[in-house]
Amino acid sequence: MSAWRFWNWDAANDRDYTSLSIQTVQHIPSRQDQYSQEVRIASNGTNRVDYVAGLYWFAQTITGEPITEYGPLAAYWLLGKPPAIPGNLLDGYLTDGHTRFHSDSYAAFGEATWHATDKLNVTAGVRYTDEQKDGPFRVFWD
């Protein structure tokens, strides 16, 4: 069984969820791609022992371009207002960046069911998974 799916996400909202001008833009356009492959072998019909075994692979990549802009009330609400910090310190402060997160997952699995009697089945299974994730996150500011 093979699969591929993707989505493009382009949410832009007021991330502080208030009507105050704290964080005026939070925009993270991104794309996700996923691939998977599974190969299985299984017993056919009902036997004294039924089994299934297989290998599985999954890969996912998410790339994004996050953008954040702060408003005139950002310094007060995010940094507090000590006397040394001007009230509009973050007003218009803009960051953008680039993200690329990637995951690879590999698995081997197996399961067997022993039909000991008409009323007693004994099932045992095992799965081993190795998963690796990495991702740089770079931010630039103006």
pLDDT in 10s for each residue of the chain, 142 residues: 899 999 998 877 777 788 888 888 888 899 999 999 999 999 998 899 999 999 999 999 999 988 888 888 888 888 876 666 666 788 888 888 888 999 999 999 999 999 999 999 999 999 999 999 998 777 777 6
Give the separation between CA 59 and CA 110, rounded to whole angstroms: 21
99: tokens are: 């993200």
Whole-number Cα distances in Å, 111 to 42, 43, 44, 53, 108: 9, 11, 14, 6, 11
Burial zone of 99 (CB within 10 Å; 0-12 exposed, 13-18 middle, 19+ buried): middle
Q: What is the pLDDT of residue 78?
A: 82
Domain tally, the chain: 1
| 90 vs 25: CA distance, rounded Å | 13
Q: What is the pLDDT of residue 137?
A: 75
Cβ atoms of 50 and 112 closer than 8 Å = yes
Range of the domain at 101: 2-141
Q: Check residue 5 and give its pLDDT.
A: 95
